[in-house]
Structure 1
Amino acid sequence: MLPLLAVVAAAVLFGTTGTSQALGPGDTTPLAVGAMRLLIGGTALGIVGWALGRRARRRMGAPRADARAIALMTVTGVALAVYQPLFFLGTARNGVAVGTVAALGSAPVIAGVIEWALTRRRPHATWMAATALALVGVAVLAFAAGGPAGADPLGFVGSVGAGASFAVFANAQRRLLTGGWDPFSVAGAMGAGSAIVALAFVPFVDLSWVVAASDSALSGLAMSLWLGLATITLAYTLFTWGLQRLTAATAATLTLAEPLTAAVLGIAVLGERLSPAEIGGLVVLGAGLLVLAWGSRAPRDPQPFAVEG
């Protein structure tokens, strides 16, 4: 029971990301918010992940950190860093509900396509059906972007770009795990790498909002701490711990709590209103994710096509 609760809690924390940013100061930029989130959360995740991974490394022994492993760890950090501004761009322009679900809906599809290209393994029929549904949902959202009451095209591109970034680091992490690295060390390397990348952007962004007075629901400092410590450090630690004790099918289903949380918060807390086309796109996209989660129950599909952040 505790592993299930850990994964659900992680997914709910992930789902608060867009709403937290929306409740924060209005004079922020996606790049600045993403940089602060990674500086705080990535650094803490690196420390926590490396500390928790020590036990596994002592018990199992750590693989040799060769050029391939270092390259993959670098890819995870860079991809997570790229994910941040693209995700916040999507939610800022199209709202939390549409922006988050578009990112999360495109990520499993792109991750599956990358895996297919790398392994040359033909995907099974359930995955193809789920992908078709997800693509229809994404296409409907893209069509809505062209209408006067629809989504913003740049925001939509940002969400899909965030999904692609996630797909890249998910595949890189999978190869590290397959190579014998323990999950906590992999998560810690990703956090530390993303914090280093974020540090390079600090001179080019305005971070005065972090300590400046604000009449927003969340101060800049409170928003940064929540986004960093809660939605990255704590969420990834809970998710990593729970994932070790669950099947891929169970994890894939439980992580659907993330887009559900984001959509509910966007509508209930932020008062977002969706156009009929957007609602239709979200419904079809959600159906694709449900089929994808159900399909991961099959023994011939060992991949958990649903891990977020």
Structure 2
Amino acid sequence: MKTQTSATLAWGGVLLAGVLWGVGALVAQSVMASGMAPYSLSLARFALGLPLLWWWHLRQAVPVRNAGKTSGEWRQLPWRERALIVGTGLAMAMNVTSWFAGITYIGAALPTVISICCAPVIVAVLSVSRGYERASGRLVAALALALGGVGLIVMPAEGLSLPKDYAVGLAWSFASAGLYSVVVLGNARMPAHVPAVSASAWSMTVAALLMLLLASAQGLTWPRDTTAWLQVGYTGVFTTSIAYLAFAWGARRLSPTAAVVGTLVEPLVAAVAAACLFSQPLTGQQGTGALLLGAAMVVLAWR
């Protein structure tokens, strides 16, 4: 019973992250449309998300230290665990950077499809090859349902066109998918004695520092009005602090493939939010995709 409850809560954490990221995608699109550069927005997301994460980390560190434990302290971690946390943070930042670079060359549709649909395949292959989970008919069936469903959700009805520089754009898009897979596997393999909030605070600090370098090289831009500032604040607190913490907590309690499939609700939430807020109704194709995605999660969660 306890195991089932833990798995349910873990699914809840991963799904919550997907929901927050889905709404955040629309918010980010609005902010960038108002003139804020993508790299600057990414920097703002990580930087604004850090105070809350560090507050949580420091607050929980006090009772842990008083109890004579040091598992939540950076200096006590072996170098391999530090490298895992730093690598996960770098992958966070470079995932976003690669996705934006792909969009620059071939527009938003194709990089999004590639990043979302390829990541579960990469995670499943690496998880099985590294022995993190067993290959099974259920895993293959869930993966096929999830990929088919999310493909129907994000695929434009008019199809995808390939512009002149599509080869470079495709390379950046596949890089984004690979880096997102690293983030998923990094969180899934995070040591149990390292609290999720501590790992998230440390890895996001690394991501923010990298984005500071990239955004400074490109030239910093700022929100242009109060609404844009509020939107940027949402992306920092909800889609970064809360979403990444929820995902990090849930991912270490699920298989890597289940964790990445759970976050595939992101494009579905974005589509539903667009239908509610911008009068962009869901198509029959997207509805079918939602059913397939839901079926994939049921297959993975079934005990």
Paired residue for 2:201?
A: 188
CA separation in 2, counterparts of 1:34 and 1:170? 19
Deviation by residue 1:22-47 (Cα, 9 ceiling, x = unmatched): 22252233323222212222x22541
- The change in CA–CA distance for 1:120 and 1:72 in structure 2 (over 3 A counts) is closer
Q: Which residue of 2 aligns with 1:209?
A: 222
- The alignment status of 1:125 with 2:137, answered yes or no, reads yes
Give, in angstroms, the shift of residue 166 of structure 1: 2.1
Distance 1:154 1:283 in 2: 32
Give the Cα separation in 2 of the matches to 1:206 and 1:104. Answer: 28
CA shift, 1:283, in A, is 4.2
Q: Which runs of 5+ in 1 are unaligned?
A: 300-309
Question: Is the 8 Å Cα contact of residues 8 and 255 (structure 1) preserved in structure 2?
Answer: yes
| Distance (Å, rounded) in 1 between the aligned partners of 2:188 and 2:253 | 16
Whether 1:261 and 2:261 are equivalent positions in the alignment is: no
Residue in 1 that maps onto 2:43 = 35
1:173 paired residue number: 187
How do residues 22-171 of structure 1 correspond to structure 2 at under 5 angstroms?
22-26=29-33, 27-41=35-49, 43-44=50-51, 46-54=53-61, 57-58=64-65, 61-62=70-71, 64-87=76-99, 93-94=107-108, 103-119=115-131, 122-135=134-147, 141=155, 144-146=159-161, 161-171=175-185
- Corresponding residue number in structure 1 for 2:298: 294
Q: Within 1, Cα distance between the matches of 2:207 and 2:258?
A: 28
Deviation at 1:113, TM superposition (A): 1.7
- Matching residue of 2:213: 200
Q: CA deviation at 1:209?
A: 3.2
**Any idea what the Cα deviations from partners look like across 1:81-126, whole Å, max 9, x if unmatched?**
112234556789336xx87676444333322222123227541111
Change (3 A) 1:229 1:296: same
SS at match of 2:301: coil
Matches within 5 A, 1:240-279: 243=250, 255=263, 257-271=265-279, 279=285
How many equivalent pairs are there? 282
Contact 1:72-1:176 at 8 Å conserved across structures: yes
1:173-196: CA deviation from partner (whole Å, max 9, x where unpaired): 222235x32222222222111112
Distance in 2, matches of 1:283 and 1:244, equals: 27
Q: Give me the identity figure in percent.
A: 22
Instruction: Return the offset for 1:230.
Output: 1.8
Name the CA shift for 1:120/1:227 in 2 (closer, same or farther; >3 Å). Answer: closer
CA RMSD, 1 decimal: 4.4
Picking from 21, 34, 43, the partner of 2:28 is 21
CA distance in 2, matches of 1:187, 1:17: 19
